[in-house]
Amino acid sequence: MKRNLYYRTLFRRRNVIKEFILNTFLEVSSGPRLLLEVFTRTKFGERYFSFSTAIILTVVLGLYPIIASNLPSFNTYSYDREQTSIWTILWKNITWYVYLGLFMYQWHKAS
């Protein structure tokens, strides 16, 4: 006998806290997921990859080493906590910026 699940799907009990935690996790993980999927899933097109999300993510991740190096707890470049040169920060994190450049290139190619 086939079971009718209409009322179960329409009038089901909802766990609001569990749905909130799940939705928050999905929203937070979408940014890092984009950093990987732009290289692994190249045929998604512009409906999947958002231009504004990619730009915002690139700007935030590009500014992170600059801001973090000037905070006293993260300052690993100089022991006397002096202001570190922007060029020193860029050179020490050159692979990070190369990755961000490749990310934007691959994103542009995919969309």
Q: pTM value?
A: 0.66
Does a structural domain hold residue 6? no
pLDDT in tens, 55-102: 988 999 999 988 887 776 655 555 544 556 788 888 889 999 999 999
Q: Give the span between the Cα atoms of 106 and 111, in whole angstroms.
A: 9
| Residue 51 domain boundaries | 31-110
Question: What's the sign of the alpha-carbon dihedral 62, 64, 66, 67?
Answer: positive
| Domain assignment present for 13 | no
Q: Is 91 domain-assigned?
A: yes
Mean pLDDT value of segment 23-48: 79
pLDDT given for residue 20 in this prediction: 93
Distance, CA of 89 to CA of 57 (rounded, Å): 19
Residue 8 domain-assigned? no
- Structural domains counted in the chain: 1
